[in-house]
Amino acid sequence: MTFRAPVRDIAFALNVAGHGDLVETSFPDLDADTVTAVLEAAGAFTTGVLAPLNWTGDQEGARHADNKVTAAPGFADAYRAFAQQGWNSLAAEPEHGGQGLPKAMELAVFEMVHAANMAFGLCPMLTQAAIEALTLHGTERQKRLVLPRLVSGEWTGTMNLTEPQAGSDLAALTTRAEPDGNGGYRLYGQKIFITWGDHDAADNICHLVLARLPNAPPGVKGISLFLATKRAVLDDGALGEANGLWAASIEHKLGIHASPTCVMMFEGAKAELVGELNQGLAHMFVMMNAARLQVGVEGVGIAERAFQQALAYAQDRTQGKSAWGGASPAPIYDHPDVRRTLMLMKAKIEAARGICFMTGVLADQARLAPDPAARASAKARQELLTPIAKAWSTDVGVEVASLGVQVHGGMGFIEETGAAQHYRDARIGPIYEGTNGIQALDLAGRKLGMAEGAVMDALCAEMAMTAETLAARQDLAEAGQRLAEGVRALEAATDWLLNNRGTPSAAGATPYLKLAGDVIGGFVLGRQALAASGSDDPWMQARLPLARLYAGQVLAGAPGLVAAVTQGAADLEAVSAAALAG
């Protein structure tokens, strides 16, 4: 169950995603040597400090007693080391104590964190989302007293959305906020599934809570966002008394056992308004969109961890004869289907990594590009790619972790090998921060409708050009042909969705997202193969067969997905639940 942070893979994927150009144009004080040093230091920390806690954290988990949560053994010390070394502040604004590095670099570091210890990574991941929300919508007091401590990692942040009767339907939430007569509010209600809602790893926890005032409009239009801290924050920044909120319990989950998923009770908890009244959902979406990209990276990380373990096992486990000669019994890596499985796992990881990093680079360009048109273009493509990065990458996380169990055979089903933990941990990714079905609806609806499909059209045109470049090369011609076919399939599916909005497009949304992810993943691998072309380094040379394998195993199926997208909803409407039950 050893882990090695994939620093070289990450650095390569960043550069192909455009990070080098981004640094040159928008971060003049940052050079390639510093980028390399940051990634290598992150690799050392995640490999040496976080990875060894992954198995014990899963086995022992967080503990709850007397309405308080104790982190899994070793986690509190590891978190304090994480914060002290500055890993929490990478991309935050310098005016709030951050280092001002690119968002894409932060994503790269967090991929290593999630790969080393996914349950640990969820804590600073939610803090990053809280930082983004307060940076944009916090009051001057919140930016002065709270934001710097979140940036430093001295305090941690959470999102409080879900209630027992209100899952994804936030219009149904009932947590109420009552004015206290002094400019503040008191919160009353219950929130569930609150990741790292309580723990002993930091001095204070900053809860961002959705609630409604007694006279607020019904539905989502009456939701406001509030900040309620575990301990009061006095005007001089010192910590005061405990607030009226606590963890009533922690959930017993399929995986991520070391991440305390709390039921939070608010009984007159003191709170401050964040942003404007009745605009809470819009403000919270700042957190959710930041977390969605982070969850996509989380899918990449857990897939990487599962792949590394499966590859090591395949080289150690001997059985049968090698398909390519050599000793007998041979490592199972020398069996064609096992090697195909491992190469497909690797190719999908690289594709998902590239999609996430591309989206991260676009997020930086949307803030920092030199002219307004470039910023607007980057922002539009970032918004288009975010649901794909989140959903497709977390689906890859589950698939690769499942294949990792398969490579282990029967030993993968035994907990002691650790392969099962990665599969259990990965399964939450497609559920987090808006299920992947919700991401698909967002993509097929609002995101695809931006400029009547022009944003996706521009991406397809760029991918078609890459397909032409690949097809012109003898060693990548088939990959180019398959990518071109995939782009045409994506264009056809896009046109159909734009012409059949409403229920028909909703019915085809999930296969459409898969189609988009599959094709964009092939585009990423094609660009990587072109970047590696001509090198005599075996590690670089491997990028070409990975792109060709992906083209044959994944892109070849893209035209068939068009039928799933365009099937419509008539058959769905025709069959009742009673008919399915029999």
Catalytic residue flag (residue 433): yes
Catalytic residue among 433, 452, 462, 478: 433
How far is Cα 368 from Cα 104, in angstroms, rounded to an integer? Answer: 13
Tokens of 164: 């027992």
Dihedral angle over CA of 363, 120, 30, 145, nearest 10? 80
Q: In angstroms, how far is CA 183 from the centroid of its own chain?
A: 37
Dihedral angle over CA of 550, 553, 556, 560, nearest 10? -130
76-to-90, 123, 154, 196, 202 alpha-carbon distances in Å: 20, 11, 12, 12, 8
Q: In this structure, are residues 83 and 154 in contact, taking their beta carbons and an 8 Å threshold?
A: yes
Host H or E run for residue 208: strand 205-211
How far is Cα 475 from Cα 464, in angstroms, rounded to an integer? Answer: 18
How far is Cα 71 from Cα 80, in angstroms, rounded to an integer? Answer: 12
Phi first, then psi, for residue 258 (nearest 5°) are -85, -5
What's the number of CA atoms in the CB half-sphere (13 Å) around residue 397? 34
Phi first, then psi, for residue 133 (nearest 5°) are -65, -45
Strands (E), 386-542: none
Q: In angstroms, how far is CA 270 from the centroid of its own chain?
A: 32
Q: In this structure, are residues 457 and 531 in contact, taking their beta carbons and an 8 Å threshold?
A: no
Phi first, then psi, for residue 521 (nearest 5°) are -60, -40
Residues involved in catalysis: 433
